[in-house]
Copies of this chain bind each other. A is one copy, B any other.
Amino acid sequence: MAKGFMGRLTAAARAKQSRVVVGLDPRANLLPAALKPAADADAEAWAGAYAAFCGRVCEIVAPYAVAVKPQIAFFEQLGLAGLRAYAEVVRKAGESGLPVIGDVKRGDIGSTAEAYAAGHLDGGGLEVDAITVNPLFGTDGVAPFVRAAAERGKGLFVLVKTSNPSGAEIQDLVCDGRPVYEHVAELVHGWGESVRAGEVWSPVGAVVGATWPEQARRLRELMPHTMFLVPGYGAQGGTGESISAFFGENGEGAVVNASRSVIFAWRGAPWNEKYDESRWEGAVEAAVKAMRRDIEEGLGR
């Protein structure tokens, strides 16, 4: 029985035959009409709507997804009320049996990173099962997150190659014949090995955008024991066809995230017709099932 987050994620992927993570990115203007508060509602009312919407999405996707990934920025936008809703969504995900990857992208110098690690991985009011981390501060900035993840059976996903086009401005600069993101990959591999303790997957994962399948092949080689979190599927353009490069030969070692294309699926998505808004729950279920099937087929399963 694997005790760490990555082991639990792998076990869930096997049990559910799914590599799908559903991103919870609530946006005021995209909520289903039935859940929208009045136009003049305050942050408290909007936060309540976000919590209700995300909680219901968790219930719907629970049979088909291995985790959810709330994007804390959308909750922070609403201030304290929003962050209270974030904590509520984390609790509701747990009730649906879904582990939570907090998409917080924190990063700072070591003494400050300790505070973030405590808040998000170790007992703080925003505690989740895993978080995303920005590597710009290097080893002493990431070490507190690595330590907290290892000690508490939690996980990290460090930004290696982000899904957005202009990420390349810094990440693709070529240094000593290799792009910056490969240097970061080597750091991530090293951080992971320092705490892997014989497990197949270290507690230190990597974010590698679905939009970069060619680069993913090389990154898979550089980080053989690193779980990939692959954002950018769906609304950002990634497809199941190109997804196999992110996985190891046995079809493990990666989970794929979609946010808008699943949770707002009734607005129309590449793989299903536009639904009537009153049937938004059915659209979410159809979208997460279609995404799971698309990826499993992409892996030849």
Interface residues of A (CB under 8 A from B): 25, 43, 71, 73-74, 76-84, 87, 105-110, 112-113, 115-116, 118-120, 124-126, 134-141, 159, 162-171, 173-176, 180, 183-184, 187
- Which residue of B81, B110, B140, B170 contacts A180 across the interface (Cβ within 8 Å)? B170
- Which residue of B83, B162, B166 contacts A139 across the interface (Cβ within 8 Å)? B166
Q: A77-B115, A80-B125, A141-B162 are in contact. List 9 more A-B contacts (CB 8 A).
A: A77-B119, A79-B87, A80-B80, A80-B87, A81-B125, A83-B83, A105-B106, A138-B167, A173-B180
- Which residue of B83, B87, B139, B170 contacts A136 across the interface (Cβ within 8 Å)? B170
- A82, A137, A165 pick with most chain B CB within 10 angstroms: A137
* Complex Cα gap A76–B128 (Å): 13
Please state if B180 and A175 are interface contacts (CB–CB under 8 Å).
Answer: yes
Minimal beta-carbon separation of A161 from chain B (angstroms): 10
Please state if B76 and A80 are interface contacts (CB–CB under 8 Å).
Answer: no
Please state if B183 and A170 are interface contacts (CB–CB under 8 Å).
Answer: yes
Residues of the B chain whose Cβ atoms lie less than 8 Å from the Cβ of A107: 105, 134
Please state if A140 and B165 are interface contacts (CB–CB under 8 Å).
Answer: yes
Of all chain B residues, the one with the shortest Cβ separation from A187 is B169
Can you list 25 pairs linking A and B with CB atoms under 8 Å apart?
A73-B116, A73-B119, A76-B115, A76-B124, A77-B118, A77-B124, A78-B125, A79-B119, A79-B124, A79-B126, A80-B80, A80-B83, A80-B126, A82-B124, A105-B106, A109-B167, A135-B136, A136-B170, A138-B167, A139-B169, A140-B165, A141-B167, A169-B183, A169-B187, A175-B175
Given A162-B136, A162-B137, A165-B140: A120 and B76 interface contact (C-beta under 8 Å): yes
Residues of the B chain whose Cβ atoms lie less than 8 Å from the Cβ of A87: 79-80
* Complex Cα gap A136–B118 (Å): 24
Please state if A135 and B77 are interface contacts (CB–CB under 8 Å).
Answer: no
Please state if A164 and B80 are interface contacts (CB–CB under 8 Å).
Answer: no
Residues of the B chain whose Cβ atoms lie less than 8 Å from the Cβ of A113: 73
Of all chain B residues, the one with the shortest Cβ separation from A183 is B173
Given A77-B115, A119-B73, A125-B81: A169 and B108 interface contact (C-beta under 8 Å): no
Residues of the B chain whose Cβ atoms lie less than 8 Å from the Cβ of A136: 134-136, 159, 162, 167, 170-171
